[in-house]
A and B are shown apart, each in its own frame.
Chain A
Amino acid sequence: EPEVTQTPSHQVTQMGQEVILRCVPISNHLYFYWYRQILGQKVEFLVSFYNNEISEKSEIFDDQFSVERPDGSNFTLKIRSTKLEDSAMYFCASRPTGSAYEQYFGPGTRLTVT
């Protein structure tokens, strides 16, 4: 069964460094999302992406964040200058077009900023 994959599974970085989190959505899906979950807290929406542009972004998704679909398969989240409070699990999700409703999530990347 097709699945969303994410790399790396765990990323440790120093404050101020740039990180790129990578996702490979399911191949025929057209809608892409990033969510994050700080330890012990709710899952939070960050950004949605369709047709090579951002559809919606949350207040969390400030100028330090960007997303890109550099080729036909990858979907990336970049944090330009990481802060301690960016430490969280980051989940990528994708959804088919049309009347399909459910989002399919990857296993997540645990980002630790020290």
Chain B
Amino acid sequence: DAKTTQPPSMDCAEGRAANLPCNHSTISGNEYVYWYRQIHSQGPQYIIHGLKNNETNEMASLIITEDRKSSTLILPHATLRDTAVYYCIVQHNAGNNRKLIWGLGTSLAVNP
């Protein structure tokens, strides 16, 4: 089973920041937090990942709490094209496998 808890749905106004929370209270020391998204009927798309420090890339920012039990994905200026299901996944990076275990994610609707 997925090790994360996310709200099932969220709304955001176009142009505003979208803040998507994720709880991962049982995360262990060598596990990373990954975020992927799936736009309707398309393949999942990697967004960002982190271990302890906050991370930023061209798509988003990831804020991880100091105790690492929760994180927030921030889309700084959401557009209509950001409407998708967002998945928070916890995974350790040891070994060759690194399969992804998916939950139900958060369905983000960006409204005009």
Give A contacts to B, CB under 8 Å: 4, 31, 33, 35, 42-45, 48, 50-51, 55-56, 89, 91, 93, 95, 101-108
Cβ 8 A contact of B96, one of A4, A35, A55? A55
Would you call A56 and B99 a contact (CB within 8 A)? yes
Number of A-B contacts (CB under 8 A): 60
B73 to nearest A CB, angstroms? 14
Highest count of chain B CB atoms <10 Å: which of A43, A48, A51, A102: A43
B49 at the A interface (CB under 8 A): yes
Partner of A50, one of B38, B46, B96, B101: B96
Instruction: Please measure, in the bound complex, the distance between the C-alpha atom of A55 and the C-alpha atom of B99, giving whole angstroms.
Output: 10
Q: Which of B34, B44, B45, B102 makes the CB contact (< 8 A) with A44?
A: B102
Q: With A43-B44, A45-B99, A56-B99 given, is the CB distance from A101 to B32 under 8 Å?
A: yes
What 17 additional pairs, Cβ within 8 angstroms, besides A50-B96, A101-B49, A107-B43?
A35-B102, A42-B104, A43-B87, A43-B102, A45-B100, A45-B101, A45-B102, A48-B96, A48-B98, A91-B43, A91-B44, A95-B98, A102-B34, A102-B46, A103-B46, A103-B100, A107-B42
B93 at interface by CB-CB < 8 Å: yes
A14 to B38, CA, bound (A): 29
Interface size class on chain B is 20 to 34
Interface residues of B in 57-107 (CB under 8 A from A): 87, 93, 96-104
